[in-house]
Amino acid sequence: MEDTLSALRSLMVSHSPPLDALVVPSEDYHLSEYVSARDKRREFVSGFTGSAGLALITKKEALLWTDGRYFLQAEKELSAGWKLMRIGEDPAVDIWMADNLPKEASVGVDPWCISIDTAQRWERAFAEKQQKLVPTSKNLVDEVWINRPPAEINAVIVHPVKFAGRSVADKLKDLRKKLVHEQSRGIIFTALDEVAWLYNIRGSDVAYCPVVHAFAIVTSNSAFIYVDKQKVSVEVQTHLVENGIEIREYTAVSSDATLLATDELDAVSTAKAALAETEATKIPSEIDKSVNGEHQAEENSNDLIWADPVSCCYALYAKLNPDTVLLQQSPLALAKALKNSVELDGLKKAHIRDGAAVVQYLVWLDKKMQDIYGASGYFLEKDSVKKEKHLQSLKLTEVTVSDQLEGFRASKEHFKGLSFPTISSVGSNAAIIHYFPKAETCAELDPDKIYLFDSGAQYLDGTTDITRTVHFGKPSTHEKACYTAVLKGHIALGNARFPNGTNGHSLDILARIPLWKDGLDYRHGTGHGIGSYLNVHEGPHLISFRPQARNVPLQSSMTVTDEPGYYEDGEFGIRLENVLIVKEADTTFNFGDRGYLSFEHITWVSSSMFIISLSLIYFHGMLILKYVKSFCTSLN
């Protein structure tokens, strides 16, 4: 790490202008939460492997900002040359830079890896001391990263309407209506899940996220996708062209953004021409014209270019005329979050299969804990009798058991992979909120310690995310009390009824009150949206104490998780997580004619820490019971 820092500081000195500081964000060119191996620049320079964080390198210091999910992990992973900055406790990075860097300091950053909103906020913070943000022409980390992983060529795939629920034509039609409403003639999309959702495509460019490294530009008349053409098969090309989408090389987005700004981007694309040829035998209709954007073009003479300030990178914004840019949340963020009936049905079916896999796993793990460690078992609460290991050649580790869980999931229909690295954690490791075990360093399971696993899968018809906390021996009175507080909060939120217009910031307190009564709390949010065979973390809504949870009210057909927890450093961690669908509530009254909402639970695994009975499994679905019976028979 020291050699890397020295090499970067040499580049900072030789840069024009010389840099007083270099920012290394976690994000890629699409500002993604999870990134490919070659885009893990912050991890490379700092050694910190968490998904969220920002590194700042000055002439003499190296600092790493991250949030409460990663405090313990960062303390373990950062070398002596790095200082941990705790978000929410230490000054924010822009405030720290403004206060600690010299007057007229230059702060370098790759403009492709920082959002418009962040860049503008930093520029405001720098103004008082005439400090300046300097976009670098090259990413300096790439210059010193000798063994940087190569770019992978992974095939783009078509996501069928039978899973997507809506055609590309319908989505483009709705999008262009929004462009007209907002007086815009074009929009840039950089978020990978938005491009995938809009064009009904999926891929494998980022581990655990079925997305493609691609940008998109949509205008009143045309639609473009910017992607490595080596990834595009004949089938995918046909799908895109038939929907009026022109395929352009990934790097062309930069020059095309400039053309978009000057209204020179060719509206009559080759894809549109091909579509016109195939449509020649059809009788023209208002529907056909509106799908291809012609109808909107007649009405839309406005000159604004729409860019989401949070998800669009600063590099593309710099190509536009700032006076004609509409900085507003992407219209796809909410459209994607409001699941259609096909997506909702798929999510429910995926969670039934996923629940069956998790129950199979608990049955298997319970039996192994008894056979190998002499544990009293998860299904019966009694005094744990410490026995001599009678299978000395066998042991269960955090990694081997999580591999077994993945195996149960892999046997289910439509399984495509995990939705994030499984958090499989024993004892003190469970107190590390986003702990990911490694085979060479992971812990062995212990019947006298709490075991927490947070896991999920990608299925063609839905994405899953579930956390359970179990104990195979006899937990302490304190552990039981903490678990009970978490469970009470979990139930209180899951059973909530609330009026339309309520946001996740207002609901967050419901999950915390039982913990607060005992003086306990947790440092992460309580819930996030979840994709439909897309990213496991999906906005724009969330349930959290963070201010941004006020921005978007919960609406019927949104998905959201319910996951309170409690973590005792060096001892144990507890978290419970279900996926919920927001639905209209049937209330006796309707005060103020606002309408009320509630949650539908679609996670089919009991939350009980100590007892799972077959009657509960039956209650949670006959399909799960069938899987359990079949699996138990196979064990005999």
Identify the pLDDT of residue 271: 43
Task: Give the whole-angstrom CA distance, residue 240 versus residue 243.
Answer: 5
Sign, CA dihedral 59-65-70-75, equals positive
- The mean pLDDT value for 491-506 works out to 98
pLDDT tier, 266 (very low <50, low <70, confident <90, very high otherwise): low
Collapsed DSSP state (helix, strand, coil) of residue 596: strand
Per-residue confidence (pLDDT) for residue 79, from 0 to 100 = 87
**35 touches 206 (CB < 8 A):** yes
pLDDT tens-place string over residues 537-558: 999 999 999 999 999 999 999 9
Question: What pLDDT digit, counting tens, does each position of 486-497 carry?
Answer: 999 999 999 999
Q: Pull the structure tokens for residue 598.
A: 């509630």
pLDDT value of residue 284: 42
Residue carrying structure tokens 């520029």: 123
Share of the chain above pLDDT 90, in %: 83
Domain spans of the chain, in order of start? 1-144, 157-269+302-337, 341-635
pLDDT digits (tens, 9 = 90+) for 9-56: 999 999 999 999 999 999 999 999 999 999 999 999 999 998 899 999
Residue 589's pLDDT is: 96
CB neighbourhood size of 465 (10 A): 24
Q: 285 pLDDT band (50/70/90 cuts)?
A: very low
Under a CB-based contact definition with an 8 Å cutoff, are residues 318 and 114 in contact? no
pLDDT of residue 302: 76
Mean pLDDT on 414-429: 97
Amino acid present at 119: A
CB 212 within 8 A of CB 192: yes
Classify residue 178 by burial, with Cβ atoms within 10 Å: 0-12, 13-18, 19+. Answer: middle
- Alpha-carbon distance of 630 to 613, in angstroms, equals 16
Q: How confident is the model at residue 631 (pLDDT cuts 50, 70, 90)?
A: very low
Torsion of CA 305, 308, 314, 318, to 10 degrees: 10
pLDDT at position 533 is 98
Residues pairing with 575 in the sheet: 565
Average pLDDT value for residue range 411-427: 97
Average pLDDT, the chain: 90
d(CA 559, CA 467): 16
Give domain 157-269+302-337's CATH architecture: 3-Layer(aba) Sandwich (3.40)
So what's the pLDDT on residue 295? 41
pTM over 0.85: yes
Q: What are phi and psi of 349, to 5 degrees?
A: -65, -40
pLDDT score at 392: 54
- 454: helix, strand or coil: strand
Find the mean pLDDT for residues 573-582: 98
Q: Provide the β-strand partners of residue 615.
A: none
Neighbours of 466 (CB within 10 A): 24
CB neighbourhood size of 576 (10 A) = 26
Token pair listed for 448: 């006298």
Enumerate residues 6+ apart whose C-beta is below 8 A from 21.
12, 56, 57, 58, 59, 97, 101, 105, 106, 107, 108
Cβ–Cβ under 8 Å, residues 535 and 33: yes
Give Cα separations from 86 to 21, 115, 562 (angstroms).
19, 21, 25
Contacts of 339 (CB under 8 A, 6+ apart): 165, 347, 532, 557, 558, 559, 581
Rounded Cα distance between 235 and 232, Å, is 8
Return the number of other C-beta atoms located less than 10 Å from residue 329's C-beta.
16
Average pLDDT over residues 595-607: 94
Q: What is the pLDDT of residues 186-210, one digit of tens each?
A: 999 999 999 999 999 999 999 999 9
Enumerate the β-bridge partners of residue 157: 202
**3-state percent helix, strand, coil for the chain, nearest multiple of 5:** 40, 20, 40
For residue 381, pLDDT beyond 90? no
> Which residues make Cβ contacts (< 8 Å) with residue 331, sequence separation at least 6?
175, 178, 182, 187, 306
Length of the chain: 636
The DSSP result for 352-363, as a single string, is: HHHHHHHHHHHH
pLDDT tens digits, one per residue of 80-118: 889 999 999 999 999 999 999 999 999 999 999 999 999
What integer is the mean pLDDT of 250-276? 77
Instruction: Tell me how far apart the alpha carbons of residues 619 and 598 are, in angstroms, rounded to a whole number.
Output: 21
Which amino acid belongs to residue 376? S
Place domain 341-635 in its CATH homologous superfamily: Creatinase/methionine aminopeptidase superfamily (3.90.230.10)
Measure the CA–CA gap between 309 and 148, rounded to whole angstroms: 29
What are the b/e assignments for 528-562, b being 16+ CB within 10 Å?
A: bbbbbbbbbbbbbbbbbbeebbeebbbeeebbbbb
**What's residue 140's pLDDT?**
97
Q: Do domains 1-144 and 157-269+302-337 have the same CATH topology?
A: yes
pLDDT tens digits for range 299-318: 445 789 999 999 999 999 99
> Both tokens of residue 302?
């406005």
pLDDT on residue 269: 53
Q: Does domain 1-144 have CATH number 3.40.50.880?
A: no
Mean pLDDT for the stretch of residues 449-476: 97
Picking from 192, 328, 306, the residue whose alpha carbon sits closest to that of residue 257 is: 306
Pair 334, 171: CB distance under 8 Å: no
